[in-house]
Structure 1
Amino acid sequence: MLADRGADVVHVSTPISLMHRLTGRVGRQHLARVPRHARRDDDGVLQLVPRPILPAPVGAPSVARMLKREGIDPAFDVVLIDQPLLWDSSVRSLADRVIYRPTDLYPGGLKHALQRRILDEVDAVVATSDEVLRGLGELHIPALVLENGAEAAHFAPPSTAEGSRTDRCVYVGALDDRFDWERVAGWARARPGVEFVVAGPDAHPPRPMPSNVLLVGSLPYAEVPALLHTARVGLLPLSDNPLNAGRSPMKLYEYLAAELAVVARETPGIRASSELGVEVYADDADADAALDRALAHPSPNRAGGLAASAASWERKTDSLQDFLLTLSPRAA
């Protein structure tokens, strides 16, 4: 959105090191799609995915050096950093205003240690949830909670769409240890007439799924709305991984923008809102009832679509820009 508004935006991704490639942590197909050098995407953002020998932060070159190697002037008006592994002393020198944007909880380990260093150096914090902000401890710099949003217009159904949708449930996203396969299997076994579609990379259920669970693999971003428009309910079956407490899932608003009802495990950032078609459960005991309520919600979910428009990235960008204007550049 900042690029759309005329800003020259550079995005540095987490480096893909030689060690990642040799150990298979990054697959060949994925690697083949990653440009070797900085490239401006269709949105006007200059994208850079460094390829050092050793992983960050152990052996990766400084961010400033990564930029210089690509012919990018390492001087900016504002820097936002949301990946602790990319922190090094050069990041502080890139701009007079450096903002930390934590998107997750880091209760321990390397990222926790790096986060403490970051908080000692940056000028402000923009956290993606109240829980993530609380996890930082006491702060003495300006802070803002700005939850994730959605590209609402991208996910909205076509104006010509008519009629109620079939009893189909869908999940699109990562399939790591934060995803509750057992919950999906339980829902599917109890409702053999409902199809459950799971879209995401590297799907490895712990055991065979019921026949009405369809695994479709990764989908290009452009194709996700069409899939969502075939379904009635969007699923957010979060596992009991404690890190889920800090999540502000973009998928919540993407589902709503696509006019789906949503069923999700309750977290500090995801609460019930039945009038908007958002139903939550605390554990397996009430998960089935929550899904039944979501399936019974009017479809398409017009109220949810309107709510997603209010949480669009356009509105989020407005809030971010207003916050940045309140920050004074660091004195030289």
Structure 2
Amino acid sequence: MTRPRILFLSHSHVFGDFRVGSHHYARELAHLDVEVVHLSTPLSLAHRVTGRVSRAAADAVPTRPFRDDDGVTHVVPRTLLPRPWGRFRVRGFLERLGIGTLFDAVLIDQPLLWDDSVRGLADTLIYRPTDLYPDGVKRSLQTRIVAASDAVVATSGAVLRDLGRLTIPSLVIENGVDLAAFPAPAADAEARPAACVYVGALDSRFDWDRTRSWAGRNPGIRFIIAGPDPAPPVPLPDNVELRGAVHYADLPDLLQGARVGLLPLSDDPSNAGRSPMKLHEYLAAGLAVVSRETPGIGQDPDAGIYVYDSPERADAALAAALRHPSPNIAGRRVAENHTWTAKTRELTTFVSGLADA
């Protein structure tokens, strides 16, 4: 029997510090004996020359297909110009590498990887939007992808609604957690240190002012901020530690040294559509969570999730999270219902239904 083949066209490669949904789906599918190819946004010469991609980051990415220990084949194209400019086409690139171009399904979450050759790579094309694209080239390409797709699997209800009225099957599967990567906290373990931690991107979606305010009002508590190229636009109190990028494999050790996981989301409109992976990773590691309220993140004190929608509520939410039982065993139980294994089962059931329709 021929193994099923699935191609992911993703916004992020696996050779950096972050893990994204397509990486986890690819791993889980490979464990189900699916042949998985994961192709991510090309590294362009223009990005390297202008410094948007550092020499070290580029050197860490293989120039040839790389098959990982789970059996997933990762490919990261090298191009002269960034997508969608230049002559790069997905089918032609795969053919030049000797990778077969007939797949059972293609899942695309990076609009910039769309070209007319993608539709012919599989009978089933699924758009898996992970973000809001209000305008610009990604919005335009997204419209073309939706028109060509057989179905949509969005990471949040807000992202799905932003696509407008659809005439194709659709589903929301929020991001999950690789539970095996985060050891379960012992129920009789001592309370964690009174420290707060954030791990993730430090771009316009991160609220530096909120972080500064929290730290200034709580001088006896450590605030650990981990993310690539930290460049705070405001001066920070001495109890804020900037750790720089933390590799995914080192994340559990970092989280086990804190009591509260932070999601200080800014008022950037894109945050309304996010399904932060860190929410369930924090919970899996036994942390309480404090987050700005979004359509996808609501208050759940029993699980140790506290949200805010104003400066006053932000301080109260942090205080409540710090008082929550530590380690957060109830939060770990919630995370156990959001594993990538379960998410993958839901995805494969949906995709199989499309093929049978």
Q: TM-score, normalised by structure 2?
A: 0.90
Structure 2 contact 215–239 (Cα < 8 Å) conserved: yes
- How far apart in 2 are the matches of 1:160 and 1:293? 20
Matched with 1:153 is 180
Deviations 1:167-199 (A, max 9, x none): 100001111010001111100000011000011
CA 1:308–1:60: 2 relative to 1, 3 Å: farther
Superposed displacement of residue 201, structure 1: 0.2
Q: Deviations over 1:123-151 (max 9, x none)?
A: 00000000000000000000000000010
Structure 2 residue runs of 5 or longer lacking an equivalent are: 1-27
Q: CA deviation at 1:207?
A: 2.2
SS in structure 1 opposite 2:132? coil
Give the match's secondary structure for 1:20.
helix
TM-superposed deviation, 1:329: 6.9
Match of 1:43 among 70, 83, 107: 70
How big is the shift at 1:60?
4.2
Partner of 2:51: 24
Matches within 5 A, 1:1-332: 1-157=28-184, 159=186, 162-328=189-355
- Quote the offset at 1:325 in angstroms: 1.1
Is the Cα contact below 8 Å between 2:197 and 2:224 reproduced in 1? yes
Describe the SS at the equivalent of 2:30. Answer: coil
CA distance in 1, matches of 2:173, 2:139: 21
How far is the alpha carbon of 1:269 from its aligned partner? 0.7
- The RMSD of aligned alpha carbons is 1.3
Secondary structure at 1:92's aligned position in 2?
A: helix
Give CA deviations for 1:28-82 in whole Å, capped at 9, x if unaligned.
1111101111101222211111011111111141101111121111111111000
Verify the 8 A CA contact 1:276 1:304 in the aligned structure 2.
Answer: yes
Structure 2 Cα separation of the partners of residues 38 and 114 of structure 1: 26
Q: How far has the Cα of 1:265 moved from its partner? A: 0.3
Q: How many residues align?
A: 330
| SS of alignment partner, residue 3 of structure 1 | helix
SS, match of residue 219 in structure 2: coil
SS at 2:224 equivalent: strand
CA contact (8 A) 1:272 1:280 kept: yes
Alpha-carbon distance in 2 for matches of 1:258, 1:98? 35
Q: Report % sequence identity.
A: 57
Gaps of 5+ in 1: none
Amino acid at match of 1:282: D
Task: Output the amino acid matched with 1:71.
Answer: G
- Structure 2 CA distance, aligned partners of 1:160 and 1:66? 51
Specify whether residues 286 and 160 from structure 1 end up closer, same or farther in structure 2 by C-alpha distance, changes over 3 A only: closer
Return the offset for 1:208: 2.3
Superposed CA offset, 1:223-279 (max 9, x none): 100000010000000000011000000000000000100000000011111100000
Query: How far, CA to CA, are the matches of 1:269 and 1:244 in structure 2?
Result: 10
* Counterparts of 1:274 and 1:187, CA distance in 2: 20
Q: Which amino acid aligns with 2:220?
A: G
Query: What is the deviation of 1:157?
Result: 3.8
Rounded Cα–Cα distance in structure 2 between residues aligned with 1:43 and 1:238? 33
Note if contact 2:185-2:285 (Cα within 8 Å) is conserved in structure 1: no
Q: Which shows bigger deviation, 154-163 or 143-152?
A: 154-163
CA pair 152-316 structure 1, distance change in 2 beyond 3 A: same
Amino acid at match of 1:76: F
TM-score when scaled to structure 1?
0.97
Question: Which residue identity does 1:197 align to in structure 2?
Answer: I
The residue type equivalent to 2:52 in the other structure is R
> 1:60–1:280: structure 2 CA closer, same or farther, 3 Å change rule?
farther
- Structure 2 SS opposite 1:279: strand
CA distance in 2: counterparts of 1:58 and 1:238, whole angstroms: 32
How far apart, CA to CA, are the structure 1 residues paired with 2:122 and 2:309? 44
Amino acid at match of 1:312: T
Partner-residue secondary structure (3-state), 2:167: coil
| Contact 1:157/1:229, CA 8 A, preserved across alignment | no
Matched AA of 1:185: R
- Secondary structure of the residue aligned to 1:314 is helix
Q: Residues 153 and 257 of structure 1 are in contact (CA less than 8 Å); yes or no, is this contact kept in structure 2? A: no
Work out whether residues 185 and 329 of structure 2, in 8 Å CA contact, stay in contact via their aligned partners in 1. Answer: no
1:95 is displaced (CA, Å) by 0.4
Taking the aligned partners of 1:77 and 1:63, their CA distance within structure 2 comes to 16
Q: Which amino acid aligns with 1:263?
A: V
Amino acid at match of 2:278: K
- Whether the aligned pair in 2 keeps the contact of 1:156 and 1:305 (CA below 8 Å) is no
Q: Tell me the CA shift for residue 12 of structure 1.
A: 0.5
